[in-house]
Amino acid sequence: MQLELKPYTQCRVLIVDDEAMSRTILSSILTPFFSCDSAESGKEAIESCKQIQPDLVLLDMNMPDMNGLEVCEHIKSMPGGQHIPIIFVTSTNDVETQNACWEVGASDFIVKPVTSSTLVHRIKNHLQNKLRMELLAKMTFHDQLTGLYNRLYLTNEVPLMIKQVARDQQKVGLIMMDIDYFKMFNDRYGHLEGDICLQKVASAIDSHVKRPKDAAIRFGGEEFILLLPYTDLAGTKTVADNLIKAVYDLNLAHDSSSKGRVTLSAGYCSQSASHVLEEGISDLIEKADIALFEAKEFGRNRAVGR
């Protein structure tokens, strides 16, 4: 699992200003250090945050369609938006303006006319804090061997995502997977090869994470979960069947298996997110686990849904 902080040049800074000249000046200052995008209105800024997930937003206070305070509030209310540092660029430095910036969740503000070196260093400081927090979250919520999410992520973060899906009155799909005869694999090839097998299977599972909110989780040992928000039973089945084939096609030797290679068994289900909120994520997992047991009973190397 990669633990390095990404370089500043890969950090995306969104410059929001309704004046073209201001955007050009700010971009010329920042482009040597960061990857810059721009938006000329509050609405465009909000849409850009949805599309590109910037690492930091440099936001003009006064714009015609939405003022900076409204834009900041909206971004902070978006999924993931609370983690985006927002620096206001303002022509006033009075106490009332400063307080208004802090109240809507701003990380900092800078007064016009902008001093180039001050702006660059402030952005670097906020990006450094953000990148370190992301690294800490990665270390906290990811399994060290496979790089997938871990049980702590499932407990702490997944319920927040399910709340969002429930607000949209959509379904959540879940696939529970188990490497077939994995104990026999370890006995035959040793635990070092077992770890390599886990990593390769995890990589195959992770390759099917197509959307930002999809989550591949190492549930424990050789068990994995793939959580699919906004996915009905038919969609979950398609992904489950593709996973079975992907692991089979890895063609990892397993002499102790009847297939002669490493295979996967899976159980899947889909429920309304509101039901999952009421009953708890454990109810969804239990339903998929029962289907996984049936997949093993029916001969393994297959996916069974309920």
3-class secondary structure, 53: coil
Please give the Cα distance from 227 to 214 (Å, whole number). 6
d(CA 92, CA 104): 17
Structure letter (DSSP) for residue 226: E
3-class DSSP state for residue 185? helix
> Is there a catalytic annotation at residue 279?
no
Q: Which two tokens stand for residue 158?
A: 């997944």
Please calculate the CA angle 179-242-304 and round it to the nearest 5 degrees.
Answer: 65
Identified catalytic residue from 222, 278, 286, 294 = 222
How many CA atoms, within 13 angstroms, populate the side-chain half-sphere of residue 149? Answer: 18
Q: Are strands 215-220 and 35-39 parallel, antiparallel or unpaired?
A: unpaired
Q: Which residues pair with 60 in a beta bridge?
A: 89
3 state DSSP class of 287: helix
Measure the CA–CA gap between 82 and 99, rounded to whole angstroms: 18
**For residue 68, which phi and psi values (nearest 5 degrees)?**
-60, -35
Q: Are 228 and 185 in contact (CB under 8 A)?
A: no
**CA angle in degrees (0–180, nearest 5) for 88-83-89:** 5
For residue 252, the SS3 value is coil
**Active site residues per annotation:** 222
